[in-house]
């Protein structure tokens, strides 16, 4: 019988702990994508709770930014500037959509995007 060893801390940053369970605070996790980082799960949980305070219905999704294979990397690819540009673009598109919705229906609500 073999026993697998699951490290508790991340070797590159021992302040962070791995999370191997199937759920976190009652929410199911995609265990095939794990292990997860406990501190990141807690921050995601807090972000969801803040959103639920502001809105009765919340939609959450995950995205992964990808650069096409075979293309040269932008000069800021290894910095946070790329994700900032994405977030700015996303915020502007949502703002435009909400303005368009208000033009059609005066009772349309705004939406605050939270990103982790």
| Residue pLDDT, tens place only, 27-66 | 899 888 878 999 999 999 999 999 999 988 888 888 877 7
Nearest to 11 by CA among 35, 31, 32: 35
Residue range 89-100: mean pLDDT, rounded: 92
pLDDT greater than 60 at residue 2: no
Q: Please tell me whether residues 54 and 76 are part of one structural domain.
A: no
Q: Please tell me whether residues 57 and 72 are part of one structural domain.
A: no
Q: Please tell me whether residues 58 and 68 are part of one structural domain.
A: no
Range of the domain at 6: 1-62
Q: Please tell me whether residues 7 and 53 are part of one structural domain.
A: yes
- State the chain's mean pLDDT as an integer: 87
Q: Please tell me whether residues 53 and 70 are part of one structural domain.
A: no
Q: Say how far apart CA 48 and CA 115 lie, in whole Å.
A: 10
Cα dihedral sign, 65-69-73-78: positive
**What pLDDT does residue 83 have?**
86
**What pLDDT does residue 4 have?**
66
Distances, alpha carbon 27 to alpha carbons 11, 31, 96, 115, in Å: 26, 12, 32, 18
Q: Please tell me whether residues 69 and 104 are part of one structural domain.
A: yes
Distances, alpha carbon 9 to alpha carbons 6, 28, 57, in Å: 9, 22, 35
Q: Please tell me whether residues 12 and 54 are part of one structural domain.
A: yes
**What pLDDT does residue 96 have?**
94
Q: Please tell me whether residues 74 and 105 are part of one structural domain.
A: yes
| Backbone dihedral angles phi then psi of residue 36, each to the nearest 5 degrees | -105, 170
**What pLDDT does residue 73 have?**
82
Residue range 65-86: mean pLDDT, rounded: 83
Q: Please tell me whether residues 111 and 54 are part of one structural domain.
A: no
DSSP letter, residue 23: E
Question: Could you give the number of structural domains in the chain?
Answer: 2
**What pLDDT does residue 78 have?**
78
Residue 75 exposure: Cα atoms within 13 Å on the Cβ side:
0
Q: Please tell me whether residues 113 and 83 are part of one structural domain.
A: yes
**What pLDDT does residue 62 have?**
80
**What pLDDT does residue 52 have?**
92
């Amino acid at each position: 019988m073999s026993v697998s060893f699951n490290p508790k801390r991340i070797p590159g940053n021992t302040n962070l702990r791995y999370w191997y369970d199937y759920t976190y605070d009652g929410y199911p996790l995609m265990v095939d994508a794990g292990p997860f980082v406990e501190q990141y799960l807690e921050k995601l949980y807090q972000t969801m709770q803040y959103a639920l305070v502001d809105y009765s219905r919340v939609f959450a999704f995950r995205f992964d930014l990808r650069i096409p294979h075979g293309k040269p990397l932008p000069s800021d690819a290894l910095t946070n500037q790329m994700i900032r540009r994405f977030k700015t673009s996303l915020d502007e598109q949502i703002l435009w959509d909400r303005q368009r919705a208000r033009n059609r229906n005066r009772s349309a609500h705004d939406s605050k995007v939270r990103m982790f």
